[in-house]
Every structure is written in structure tokens, then in C-alpha cells.
Structure 1
Amino acid sequence: MIRTIARRVASLVGAGVLLGGLVACSQAAVDPGGGSPSPAPSSVSASATPTPTPSAAYKPASAEGPAENVPVPVMPEEAKLESKEGLEAFARYWYEAANYGYETGDVSLVKAISGPECQTCQKYYDVVLKGFIDGDWMAKSQIDVQDAYSDFILTPENRYQALVQLEQDDMEYYGAEGHLGTTERRTQPSVQLVEATYSDGEWIAVNIATIKAG
């Protein structure tokens, strides 16, 4: 399905038609990290492999409190390449960075890979910052990226495009007084267009728009 939509997008690009319909993004839970530490041996030989220092246990957000010890997503090396596969990997990472912001209130990862002209990014910042104001927090808001695909064709605006198929969970808001509200999300997959430019060895998202709403 996403490749059929990609062909339609490519035909519009060839005609010089810009795609619009900006929407705010939603959040995904970051994969839990850490785990129970392995017991240290009573005696270690000089050639033994050192036991890694265990990280603090990840705890997702809930009605009881915000997420704790959220692992910071790391951009894969492939996402730094100027190629079809690089753009697809970058698009996936963009949502991982957005997920981190929804769990922590920290939008710096998304800002680092997004341009100021990205209106959907600006909406995302606003949603997250309001969700974490005065000690409040957000829960759930999960994005599940199911597929990312690009024809890797340069548009007349000197942008490359990738299509991302995703599902998203409801967005829940909490504070000291309890549940503050819920933004309900549809479970049917949606398709979003990620437009990015490449310069100085890195991709920058300049536009995110909905092609097919769930």
C-alpha cells in the first residue's frame, strides 16, 4: 500500500505539485533499556571480560508518574548517508526522536534534525511543552512505525521524500491532580510524508504532512 502511494506522490512531484495538509505528530514509547545486572564473579582473571555497569531500569509513564530512565535513541550510521536507504533510516529515526520527547518533555533531539520551516515540527514542540508544563506529564501516545519507503527522487524544491506508515496510540495527560485528559487516536494505519534536505553529511526534516489519515 505504501509503495502505491509512493508512485502517486512521485507523479505529483513530476508535475511540480506541492503536498500539504500538515498535521501534528504523535508519540511512541521508546524500547525499554537496561535490565538486571549480572552477578560479579568472586575472582576475575586478567583475561576476563569486564561486567558492564548496569543502567537504571526503564519505567514507562503511567497515572502514577512520568516515565523514568528513558533510553536516548541513537541515530544509526545508515541514517547519515545520502541514499535511499539513508533517508528511510533517517525518517524512522525522526519518529524515535519524537517518541523520546513525548516520554521526557525533551524536544532537543527533534530540533537537532528539523528545520525551522517545518510547521508540523513546531506543532510537535508546542504539544510536548504544554504536556509537561508545571510538573505535568504525558503517557502512552505511542507511535508504531510499520514501514518507511522512498523513491529517492529530488523534488523541484531540492527535497527528498519518504513515506512512513504508522499507527499511533491515544495521548494521555496527567498532573498532580490526576488525569487531565486524553487525545484519542485512530488505530487504522496512517501515511505521512517526510521531506528532508541533505547538507554537510546530515539530513534535516523540512516538512511532514499527512498523505493518508487513519
Structure 2
Amino acid sequence: MTRTILRRSRVWSFPAVFAAVVLAGCSGASGDSGTGAASPSPSQSSASATPTPTPTPSAVYKPASAEGPAENVPLPVMPEEAKVESKEGLEAFARYWYEAANYGYETGDVGLVQAISSPECVTCQKYYEVVENGFKDSDWMAKSKIEVQDVHSDFAVTPENRYQALVQLRQDDMEYYGSEGHQGTTESRPLPSVQLVEATLEGGKWIVVNVATIKAG
């Protein structure tokens, strides 16, 4: 099977870049029943109590590998701070956006990213294509994880009413597997990269409208 592997842009001297750019139950009985039967002793009462249920073990997360796709991937939850219209809120939101992207790389489900991204975000559309290709016909992706190392925003609004944040990150190689084994790798670069994330406030929540690579590692 021929696969079209799309290289995801990766996102260096971090602060300098941003200057150039304007996330009990009741007891059985009480009293005498009239039959002359003795009341149960304390030890007998204790033995008849409902036993404490044994906790059900949580499903164990298993990362993707050549043997198969990831299992029981934890669902990232947007922190409350990422819903606030502030510098800190935007920075927390940007971090969450990449967590949502990582969830897609592991599961093939891009719904979390789609819910917080505009249809006009070109990089977002390319991301959807990469994940769709990676999970086509029961195939899967491995590694691919984005590690966010720093986020900074001056919380200044652009003429297009967009707020900007710079994200310094690195990404693992993107590996592709299927029933026939290893199908390809998109190699990462060894140094961190910087991406510009632009977001707007729509209906009281942040929406990503653009993700652009400022410098690839």
C-alpha cells in the first residue's frame, strides 16, 4: 500500500522571536420478636455486614508500537484557566491545543482539535489529513508526540482581532504501521522549533485560527 506521508511543521531563542511578532443500611430487627431467640452477638452482626467492594482496576495506558496502536489513551481535559480571556488563559489554551493534537496522533480521533479550531486554519486541516492517512484501513501511528517546552504571549490583539502566543516545542518522529508492518517514518529535527498560534474569542471561548512555524528546529 502506498502512503502519502505529510510532514508536520515543527516548531529557538524563544523570547527574541516574540518581539518580532505582533490554553448504612438498617439493622435486621430491633426488640423482642416474641420467639425467645437470642439477639445476635456483636461479632455475628459484624460478620453479616455488607462487605466493602473491591475497586475496579483502571485500564492501563499502553503507547502505540510496532505491535499495535495505543490503548486506553487518557482523554485530555481543558483546564478552567484555558477558558479565561487573559494572557494566562491564552497560554494555557495553547498548551491544551497541543495536548488535543497529541490525542489525535495516538487515537486517530481529531474531534478535540476540531472543536477548538476554525475551518480556516490551514495547518489544522493538514493535521487532520496526516492523522486520517495514518489511521486509514486499520493502520496506526506511533511516537509523533509533541512536547511543549514553553509558551509566551504578550496578549496584544492584531488588526484582525487575533491574539498571539509563541509555542516552543519539539516532536518525535512520526511512525506509520499497518498489517504489513512498518510503512514509513517522518523524521523530526533534533532542535526545538517555534510556532505562532493565533486565536480569537468566539462565543466566550478560544478558537485557533492559525498555526504557523516561525522557525523549524
TM-score (norm 2): 0.79
Aligned partner letter, 2:94: A
Give the drift of 1:5: 1.0
Q: Which residue of 1 aligns with 2:16?
A: 4
What is the alpha-carbon distance in structure 2 between the residues aligned to residue 65 and residue 165 of structure 1? 30
Separation in 2, partners of 1:52, 1:187:
44
Whole-angstrom distance in 2 between the partners of 1:71 and 1:52? 19
Unaligned runs of 5+ residues in structure 2 are 1-12, 23-46
**Matched residues, number:** 179
Label 1:136 to 1:86 Cα distance change in 2 as closer, same or farther (>3 A): same
> C-alpha displacement at 1:53, in angstroms?
4.2
Choose which of 113, 128, 131 in structure 2 pairs with 1:128: 131
Question: What 5-or-longer segments of structure 1 have no aligned partner?
Answer: 11-42
1:164 to 144, 167, 173: 167
Do 1:80 and 1:202's aligned partners in 2 also have CA atoms closer than 8 Å?
A: yes
- Which of the residues 186, 193, 196 maps onto 1:193? 196
- Equivalent in the alignment of 1:212: 215
Mapped partners of 2:78, 2:216: distance in 1: 27
2:189 is paired with a residue of what secondary structure?
coil
Structure 1 residues 51 and 163 mapped into 2: Cα distance closer, same or farther (>3 Å)?
A: farther
In the TM superposition, residue 9 of structure 1 has moved relative to its aligned partner by 0.8
Answering whether residue 117 of structure 2 is matched by residue 114 of structure 1, we say yes
The question of 1:141 aligning with 2:144 is answered yes
Q: Deviations over 1:29-49 (max 9, x none)?
A: xxxxxxxxxxxxxx9x99x9x
Moved over 4 A (4+): 50-53
SS in 1 for 2:208: strand
Larger Rg: 2
SS at match of 2:118: coil
Question: Hey, what's the Cα distance between the residues in 2 that align with 1:156 and 1:186?
Answer: 34
Q: Contact (CA 8 Å) 1:195, 1:206: kept in 2 or not? A: yes
Could you say which residue in structure 1 is the equivalent of 2:31? none
> SS at 1:128's partner residue?
helix
Counterpart AA for 1:187: P
Distance (Å, rounded) in 2 between the aligned partners of 1:112 and 1:55: 27
Q: Determine which of 99, 102, 113 is the counterpart of 1:99.
A: 102
Q: 1:55 to 1:192 in 2, by over 3 A?
A: same
Cα distance, 1:55 vs structure 2: 2.0
Root-mean-square deviation over aligned CA pairs:
1.8
1:98-145 deviation digits (Å, cap 9, x = unpaired):
000000000000000000000000000000001000000000012110
Q: Which amino acid counterpart does residue 208 of structure 2 have in structure 1?
A: A
What is the aligned partner in structure 1 of residue 43 from structure 2?
Answer: none
Aligned 8 A contact 1:169 1:187 in 2? no
CA shift for structure 1 position 181: 0.5
